Amino acid sequence: MQNNNRKVFETLVSRTKIYLAIILVLLIVICIENVSMILPSALIYVLVVGYTYYANKKRKSEISETLQDLTLTVDTAAKTSLINSPFPLIILETDGNVIWRSTKFTTEFANIDINTYMNDLILDIKDDIEKNKANKDITKEMKIGNKIYKIMGRYVKFKNKSREKKNKKDYMIILYFIDDTENIKLQKEYKNSKSCVGIIMIDNYEETMQRLDAAEKPQIIAEIDKEMYDWANKSNGILIKSDRDRYVFLFEQRYLEGIKEDKFSILDKIKEIDTKEKVQFTLSIAISNEGLTDKEKYKSARSAMDVVLGRGGDQAVIRENEIYKFFGGRVEEVEKRTKVKARVVAHALENLIKDANKVMVMGHTNPDMDSIGSCLGIYRLAKSLDTNAYIVCSDNAPSLEAFRKSLDKEPEYEDVIINKEVALENIDEDTVLVVVDTHKVNYVDSPELLERAKKIVVVDHHRRSTNFIENATLMFQEVYASSAAELVTELLQYAEVKVDLKTIEAESLYAGIMMDTKNFTFKTGVRTFEAAAYLRRCGVDIIRVKKWFQSDLASFNIIADIVKKAEIVTDGIAVSTYDEVTKDANLICAKAADELLTISDITASFVLGNTGEKICISGRSIGDINVQVILEKLGGGGHITLAGAQVENMTMEEAKQELINRIHEYFSEIEN
């Protein structure tokens, strides 16, 4: 009886149970007051419970019928929607067996061999299923015929009931094909209609114009303007002359690819402008599409222009997605005869040093004479201003072995040259960090010092690369200069304080110039010899400097072997390898590359060596071939006549083949 009552009460909803409990309590109270009401109360309560049970059961039955009708209606609507889907729809198995396809699917692809597309699509989906079984949603994009479809759907696992696959579980896929052609066209049109901002500058405008006859100037300026406007019109762009030597170029991004394919023909057209004095004009061009507004794009173009000018001008660069792509820049830099910038930088550097409590001077990894000589020059400038100074040099480079023996005889430098660990412990907010002979973040002796330093000065002569030190307080980067030592010597000459160079400091600066010019043969200008003359007056012993560069007999024999096995890969370009794994591979490769240039009919040379960690490449040229452009393709840099690179994760043969490919690529770009 109790079990039956429990079942009855379980069928009732919770709220009804509460009402019945309240009624029961009231009836019990009545029976306590009047005993004669016990029997009627029990009868009444049984009737109430019975009626409630009946009413509740009837209500559940009605709800069940309503739900069944609703489910049937929904099923019918779903089937109708599936059959009459406005999108092409197909249901199939992963083995390609089509279970069902909608009428829209059949009509949409009536004139197309859809099976070929479906086979490729199924293979792609099966790969996705194997890689990620948890995600059952499918989203693909496929071009079918002349339209692009967004394919969306879902796959479900089911047990195949056919005899052959009775116990095999398979996937059933439902796919919708949504025509996304117009949407993609709109997106492409939106992207193409975005603006690109360019800055164009005439290199050395003032100096070049001074060399022209007064009567010829208006004609030449008009001819330059005409060529510029004609070139801009090809891109339906707007060219605004913002200054005598500067233009701002606005155009839509749809024309950017055409400009790339044209390889900035305007560079050559401006050079071809004929003048009576045979003066050649060159351009520097920077274009950017980075930024949400034209103002941001202009700022990005200005930054790109700094890179172009830092590489010597006469070239163009496109900055896109934080990547620089260079065009041109295959001729030697022209020496600037004005020394105004050197004087301004010298005074600014003096003020920075005066306000600092210490100065740290740092060169590049695997330092050479140009690097260490420049460090000693800046050190002497700081000491002349009564500021503590230190030289950060962690590597004992083989090329500096003879020089370090001479330096060790000078007691003053015993505690001056420190390693990067000591430098990191002592650097503070009032320290000026001077970086010489490099501007690359990843090429300095200690990149960590760059992060810690608040004031950074860069003195360099290399063409600017994309990974340059961006947060420099003062930058003196002149690519026309033969060496960093030449630039440092100019700073010493223009300093307001009297700088008394010690003999070994003057000799190290002279050795730096001598090394980078290959005994005053390459990349020398008037200012190079002026700097050398100043150092010579400071007491340079040329014989002692010459001894620092002497090679022992064993090294000379190694270089001779490298030269002996060199091969000509194309007209006038020699490539050789030094297979022995050694830390001084850089030095040997550089000397071997220099030696190869002494052979007639060789206009450029490349020598590869193995340092144990990387494959190093030294490139040299007499000026006809731009070795910097070639080695930049391998992550290196330098100058037109002297450059280097280091590659990782390659064998010697792989690196050699990659170099040869880049050489051929260089010539194909020139021909095109």
Same domain, 513 and 642: no
Alpha-carbon gap, residue 607 to 564, rounded angstroms: 12
Res. 614: pLDDT tops 80? yes
Q: What is the CATH number of the domain that holds 630?
A: 3.10.310.30
Same domain, 351 and 324: no
What predicted TM-score, i.e. pTM, was given to this entire model? 0.59
Same domain, 179 and 200: no
Does 442 map to a domain? Answer: yes
Which of the listed residues 328, 350, 378 is the one where a domain comes to its end? 328
pLDDT at 226: 92
Q: Residues 36-76: pLDDT tens digits?
A: 787 887 888 888 888 777 777 776 666 566 656 555 555 56
Which of the listed residues 187, 211, 233 is the one where a domain comes to its end? 187
pLDDT averaged over every residue in the chain: 82
pLDDT at 14: 53
pLDDT at 68: 61
pLDDT at 168: 47
pLDDT at 10: 46
Same domain, 493 and 377: yes
Res. 134: pLDDT tops 60? no
Q: Residues 443-461: pLDDT tens digits?
A: 888 889 988 898 999 999 8
Res. 597: pLDDT tops 50? yes
Q: What is the 3-state secondary structure (H, E, C) of 207-275?
A: HHHHCCCCCCHHHHHHHHHHHHHHHHHCCCCEEEEEECCEEEEEEEHHHHHHHHHHCCCHHHHHHCCCC
Q: Residues 192-214: pLDDT tens digits?
A: 889 999 999 998 788 788 878 88
Three-class secondary structure of residue 350 per DSSP: helix
Which of the listed residues 135, 157, 187 is the one where a domain comes to its end? 187
Residue pair 339/346 in contact (Cβ under 8 Å)? The answer is no
Can you name the residues that pair with 645 across neighbouring β-strands? 617
Q: Provide the domain limits for residue 49.
A: 2-80
Share of the chain above pLDDT 90, in %: 18
pLDDT at 378: 94
Does 501 map to a domain? Answer: yes
Res. 578: pLDDT tops 80? yes
Q: What is the 3-state secondary structure (H, E, C) of 510-579?
A: HHHHHHHCCCCCCCCCHHHHHHHHHHHHCCCCHHHHHHHCCCCHHHHHHHHHHHHCCEEEECCEEEEEEE
Q: Residues 615-649: pLDDT tens digits?
A: 999 998 887 788 888 888 888 877 778 888 888 88
Q: What is the CATH number of the domain that holds 440?
A: 3.90.1640.10
pLDDT at 247: 93
Does 116 map to a domain? Answer: yes
User: Mean pLDDT, to the nearest integer, of 536-556?
Assistant: 84
Alpha-carbon gap, residue 64 to 70, rounded angstroms: 10
